[in-house]
């Protein structure tokens, strides 16, 4: 992980004084297992180029972590990508420049704009190129994105989400660094530390003079603060928290760390409120999915026993618990961390009025047969199938419809056509872990294949705001068992 800062022009040599680092020396510090180095690769009267490099100990990154038991620690990319970790590593080395407090004779240069080029990366971002460019182009930078062309040996995705970013423009050293320190964590959407009110102060300090008018202010604030409580506190300190078009920001917790512009902010900004009033806060698509599913379940004649397959942190299961007539809910999830959060969520339901069944978090997967899943009244896969390789789905659907045989199977998945409404790049997915996204015609074709030779009929309906020619953002399939004797 690195950052290269280049300054050119008659006054470029002054930059070393603003950074408070002598070009003739190499800054080399190791603290808490992280080695940070700053070296000037060019230092003349008209050109200054400094490389800032951080190299953490990969073992220290997972030591003492609550995810330490998780297998993903062995494929951790945090030691390589430029993220919030990188910013925290180099903050002390750049403290003088960030605070704008060089030696007195150079104070006048703090407000001086230099011809700068800032290169950093690699950045592993779930944001599309268009949004990455807009985050910086609005600040006056010319933006270049570099992406390695990768050849995958399996059909996973078209290209890597990892990019190197080059910015060119006129800016003060202090403002340029402050912008990076706020926006790099936004790009990566990863925080390695507890998010507290200190983040509010950081937004106010680093965003001073540019954030208020930025068209992606809502995205920046939400991915920095994440939690509704912090967003409300930021709002109260700011007086009125609004986006540049004066619409209030919707202070919602980031959904499982996936509140990217494509599935979070864009969907939130395009979804209308359910009662049709355009002045109401927008309703997130995830909320509309939950409402659609619970509405279907509430109308079913048989709904005593429910399986929420791929339940995650239990948000949908908690909703299902409030439906009259429901007696048992199996919240099935393979991730240990997600199950722990689900348990905490379910514990809050204890003794609450209007809760008819306590969800039971259990470990499980679509890839392993489990007898207790058989012959349930309702089985739900909410935004699950697109995380599975498409070639494996036929076997999974066969297990669901031929072996588990629920009375009703509800499946939701993205509508690929609607990605154009979100102005997404061609062949890009709404989430980095999606293995496919289908058009309405493609899904209908698969449903024909899945239901053939089974005792099920199906209907397909949309969820979310409908746009002519593109349909709705989410597709929902409802498989229902035929009465005995009507198998085709």
Query: Who has greater pLDDT, 320 or 89?
Result: 320
pLDDT at 129: 87
Residue 382 has pLDDT above 70, yes or no: yes
Worst-scoring range by mean pLDDT, 108-117, 289-298, 349-358? Answer: 349-358
Q: How confident is the model at residue 271 (pLDDT cuts 50, 70, 90)?
A: very low
> Does the structure show a pLDDT above 60 at 401?
yes
**Domain residue ranges of the chain, discontinuous segments joined by +:** 2-193, 285-481
212: Cβ–Cβ under 8 A, 6 or more apart, which residues? 244
Judged by DSSP in three states, 44 sits in coil
Residue 27 parent element (H or E):
strand 27-31
| Mean pLDDT computed over 33-40 | 90
The better pLDDT of the pair 248, 287 is held by 287
Phi-psi region at 485: left, alpha or beta (left = phi > 0; alpha = psi -120 to 50): left
Answering whether pTM is above 0.85, one says no
Identify whether the C-beta of residue 457 lies closer than 8 Å to the C-beta of residue 482.
Answer: yes
Q: Is the pLDDT of residue 154 over 60?
A: no
- The pLDDT of residue 434 is above 70: yes
The enclosing H or E element of 188 equals: helix 173-188
Instruction: Work out the percent of the chain whose per-residue pLDDT is above 70.
Output: 80
pLDDT digit string (tens) for 333-353?
Answer: 988 888 999 999 999 999 899
Please, which residues have CB within 8 angstroms of residue 83's CB and are 6 or more apart in sequence? 1, 123, 124, 184, 185, 188, 190, 192
- The residues, any chain, with a CB within 8 Å of residue 39's CB and separated by 6 or more, are 26, 27, 50, 51, 53
Beta strands in 57-188 (DSSP E): 114-124, 142-146, 162-171
Q: Which CATH superfamily hosts domain 2-193? A: Hen1, N-terminal domain (3.30.1610.20)
Enumerate residues 6+ apart whose C-beta is below 8 A from 466: 472
CA gap 11, 454 in Å, rounded: 76
- pLDDT at residue 459, as a whole number: 97
Of the two residues 18 and 151, the one the predictor is more confident about is 18
460: nearest Cα among 407, 425, 409: 409
Question: Is residue 217 scored above 70 in pLDDT?
Answer: yes
* Topology of domain 285-481, CATH: Rossmann fold (3.40.50)
pLDDT-derived band at 15, boundaries 50, 70, 90: very high
Inform me whether the pLDDT recorded for 110 exceeds 90.
yes
**Confidence bin at 201 (pLDDT 50/70/90):** confident
Q: At residue 169, does pLDDT exceed 70?
A: yes
């Amino acid at each position: 992980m690195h950052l290269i800062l280049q300054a050119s022009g008659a006054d470029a040599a002054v930059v070393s004084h603003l950074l408070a680092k002598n070009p003739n020396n190499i800054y080399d510090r190791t603290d808490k297992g992280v080695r940070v180095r700053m070296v000037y690769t060019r230092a003349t009267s008209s050109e200054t180029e400094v490389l800032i490099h951080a190299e953490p100990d990969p073992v220290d990154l997972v030591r003492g972590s609550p995810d330490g038991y998780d297998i993903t620690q062995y494929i951790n990319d945090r030691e390589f990508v430029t993220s919030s970790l990188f910013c925290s590593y180099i903050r002390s080395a750049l403290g003088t420049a960030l605070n704008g407090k060089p030696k007195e004779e150079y104070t006048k240069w703090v407000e001086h704009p230099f011809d700068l080029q800032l290169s950093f990366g690699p950045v592993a971002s779930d944001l599309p190129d268009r949004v990455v460019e807009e985050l910086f182009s609005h600040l006056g930078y010319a933006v270049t994105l570099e992406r390695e062309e990768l050849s995958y040996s399996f059909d996973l995705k078209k290209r890597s989400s990892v990019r190197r970013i080059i910015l060119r423009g006129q800016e003060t050293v202090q403002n340029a660094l402050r912008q990076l320190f706020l926006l790099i964590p936004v790009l990566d959407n990863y925080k390695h530390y507890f998010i507290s009110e200190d983040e509010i102060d950081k937004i106010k300090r680093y965003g001073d003079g540019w954030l208020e008018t930025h068209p992606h202010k809502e995205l920046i604030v939400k991915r920095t603060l994440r939690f509704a409580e912090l967003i409300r506190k930021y709002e109260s300190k700011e007086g009125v928290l609004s986006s540049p078009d004066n619409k209030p920001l919707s202070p919602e917790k980031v959904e499982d760390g996936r509140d990217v512009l494509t599935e979070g902010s864009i969907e939130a900004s395009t979804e209308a409120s359910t009662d049709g009033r355009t002045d109401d806060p927008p309703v997130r698509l995830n909320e509309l999915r939950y409402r659609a599913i619970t509405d279907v379940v509430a109308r079913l004649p048989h709904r005593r026993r429910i399986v929420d397959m791929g339940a995650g942190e239990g948000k949908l299961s908690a909703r299902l618990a409030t439906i009259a007539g429901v007696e048992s809910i199996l919240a099935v999830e393979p991730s240990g961390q997600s199950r722990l959060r689900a348990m905490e969520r379910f514990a809050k339901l204890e003794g609450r009025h209007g809760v008819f069944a306590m969800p039971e978090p259990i470990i499980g997967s679509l890839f392993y047969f489990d007898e207790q899943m058989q012959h349930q009244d309702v089985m739900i896969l909410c935004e699950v199938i697109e995380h599975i390789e498409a070639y494996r789905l036929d076997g999974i659907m066969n297990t669901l419809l031929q072996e588990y045989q629920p009375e009703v199977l509800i499946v939701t998945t993205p509508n690929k056509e609607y990605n154009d409404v979100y102005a997404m790049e061609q062949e890009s997915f709404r989430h980095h872990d999606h293995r496919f996204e289908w058009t309405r015609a493609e899904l209908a074709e698969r449903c024909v294949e899945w239901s053939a030779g089974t005792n099920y009929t199906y209907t397909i309906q949309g969820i979310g705001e409908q746009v002519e020619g593109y349909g709705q953002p989410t597709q929902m399939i409802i498989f229902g068992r035929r009465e005995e004797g009507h198998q085709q």
